[in-house]
């Protein structure tokens, strides 16, 4: 077997171009995904069955089907209908770039909504009762207490979701986009060096994952800073009524 290092060096700049598109896709669909996931999660956490039903169906569909089907439904499926092709949406749906973003956003929104829902339900009841006792309205509670707390609780799991999005973004290459995988495939069609180019692409993917992991570690440290405070030991002779069980546990 001949191993061609020079092919890797020669085409590496083009791979990096692809990597840039990959990161752009992940970032933009990640942000849109969060924006969609928050209302979905709040609806899912609701106690009213008719409010819960809609996000449930949405989440069930997007978590139960392959991302490849979803991306093909948006890219090829939408164009089946004359109405869509005549409408103001077509200039957007015509472009594979936006189709990929739409599919990835809808997909990650479904997964993130479940993460946020379980985070919302993991907030200690006492904290919400305390907010109520302070006279906060439901809206203020959501903005000041529920969202920030849920975000902190969901952060580590959300970091995993972003890594999964990164891996899923490789599917952009199936609708002609030249993301990292698409770029590698296009180069290989000419150079016939699949092992070399896919290895190089793999290394770039691992580097991006490492970057994402580091970013989330840092954010978690900043966001959940209270967990990292070192509490002074409670004096042994403290009046039992003043003891805080949370601190004693640590």
What is d(CA 235, CA 233) in angstroms, rounded to the nearest whole number? 6
Least gap, CB of 146 to other proteins (angstroms): 27
Q: Does 189 bind other proteins (CB under 8 A)?
A: yes
Residue closer to other proteins by CB (options 35, 199) is 199
Q: Which of 26, 102, 171, 216 binds other proteins (CB under 8 A)?
A: 171
Least gap, CB of 89 to other proteins (angstroms): 13
Q: Does 110 bind other proteins (CB under 8 A)?
A: no
> Per-residue x/- mask for other proteins, residues 202 to 231, rule CB under 8 A?
x--xx--xx---------------------
Q: How many whole angstroms from its chain centre is CA 234? A: 40
Residue 116's nearest CA partner among 160, 147, 142 is 147
With CB under 8 A as the contact rule, which of the stretches 111-119, 133-141, 172-180, 223-231 interacts with other proteins? 172-180
Least gap, CB of 205 to other proteins (angstroms): 6
Q: How many residues bind other proteins (CB under 8 A)?
A: 49
What is d(CA 197, CA 204) in angstroms, rounded to the nearest whole number? 11
Residue closer to other proteins by CB (options 38, 107) is 107
Least gap, CB of 27 to other proteins (angstroms): 17
Residue 77: Cβ-neighbour burial (10 angstroms; 0-12, 13-18, 19+): middle
Residue count of the chain: 250
> Per-residue x/- mask for other proteins, residues 59 to 88, rule CB under 8 A?
-xx--xxxxxxx-xx--xxxxxx---x---
Q: Which of 26, 29, 169, 216 binds other proteins (CB under 8 A)?
A: 169
Q: Does 194 bind other proteins (CB under 8 A)?
A: yes
Q: Please report, as residue ranges, which positions from 24 to 63 form the binding site for other proteins (by CB under 8 A).
A: 60-61
Least gap, CB of 212 to other proteins (angstroms): 9
Q: Retrieve residue 17's tokens.
A: 């171009």
Residues 170, 174, 175, 179, CA torsion sign: positive
What is d(CA 161, CA 29) in angstroms, rounded to the nearest whole number? 12
Least gap, CB of 40 to other proteins (angstroms): 19
Report the interface residues with other proteins, using CB under 8 A. 1, 60-61, 64-70, 72-73, 76-81, 85, 94, 96, 163, 166-171, 173-174, 176, 181, 184-186, 188-190, 192, 194-195, 198-199, 201-202, 205-206, 209-210
């Amino acid at each position: 077997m001949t191993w061609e290092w020079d092919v890797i060096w020669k085409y590496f700049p083009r791979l990096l171009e692809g990597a840039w598109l990959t990161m752009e896709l992940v970032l933009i669909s990640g942000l849109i995904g969060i924006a969609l996931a928050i209302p979905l999660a709040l609806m899912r956490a609701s106690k009213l069955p008719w409010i819960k039903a809609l996000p449930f169906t949405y989440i069930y569909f997007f978590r139960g089907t392959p991302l490849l089907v979803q991306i093909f439904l948006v890219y090829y499926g939408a164009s089946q209908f004359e109405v869509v092709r005549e409408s103001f949406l077509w200039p957007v749906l015509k472009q594979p770039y936006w189709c990929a973003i739409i599919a990835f956003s809808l997909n990650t929104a479904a997964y993130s909504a479940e993460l946020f829902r379980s985070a919302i339900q993991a907030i200690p009841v006492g904290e919400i009762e305390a907010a109520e006792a302070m006279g906060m309205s439901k809206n203020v509670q959501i903005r000041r207490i529920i969202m920030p707390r849920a975000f902190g609780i969901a952060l580590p799991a959300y970091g995993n979701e972003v890594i999964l999005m990164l891996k899923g973004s490789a599917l952009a290459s199936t609708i002609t986009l030249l993301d990292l995988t698409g770029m590698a495939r296009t180069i290989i069609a000419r150079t016939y060096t699949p092992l070399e180019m896919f290895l190089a692409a793999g290394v770039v993917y691992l580097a991006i994952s490492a970057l994402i992991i580091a970013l989330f570690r840092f954010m978690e440290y900043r966001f959940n800073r209270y967990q990292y405070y070192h509490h002074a030991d409670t004096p042994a002779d403290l009046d039992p009524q003043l003891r805080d069980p949370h601190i004693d546990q640590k």
